[in-house]
Amino acid sequence: MFRRKPDPAAPDPLAQARLALEATLKREARVTTLAWSGFQIAARMDEALREAQAGALPEARALLDAFVGLHLGPLSGLPLRLLAGEDASEAFQAVFGFPPKLFRDPARSAAQLLELRTQTATTYLLRLATGGAVGADEVARQGQADLETIIDQEREARRAAPA
């Protein structure tokens, strides 16, 4: 058999693969850093809500309980814990009411719910800051609607997936 001689002018395929891998790892590290930063915002918001709840007047405590009930703190670390392969089953079940194994991509579902609930909390807090009326039941209903949206998306995706 004939062996082809390597062309000395051709780039080294191993070096090219190494450079591509390094670029991919750097990109993934940046994405993870950005995600972690975003998730920390929700954790800090949850922490501030809990502090406010501790010193709140009784008439404001029910509303703050509803905000804390959005589970922003537990949700903030859940997506990255799931991606890292950590056992986050209990935290996932506490928030979703279902084990993570029932979801196609539990980390993505947790990130989507965190996004929705952070938006919910921000919307209602801004309404309060501008003098609008917000009820605890309204916040709790929207938090439940956020959860149902993610669960419905999961059900639809499972129905649409080939068997």
How far from 34 is each of 24, 38, 39, 134, CA to CA, in Å? 15, 6, 9, 31
Residue 122 near residue 148, CB atoms below 8 Å: no
Question: Taking the mean position of all CA atoms in its chain, how far away is CA 56?
Answer: 28
* Tokens at 147, concatenated: 């959860």
Task: Give pLDDT tens digits for 86-130.
Answer: 999 999 999 999 999 999 999 999 999 999 999 999 999 999 999
φ/ψ of 57, rounded to 5, equals: -70, 155
For residue 4, is pLDDT > 90?
no
pLDDT of residue 1: 62
Segment 26-51 shows an average pLDDT of 86
Segment 31-49 shows an average pLDDT of 86
Task: Give pLDDT tens digits for 47-95.
Answer: 999 999 999 998 899 999 999 999 999 999 899 899 889 999 999 999 9
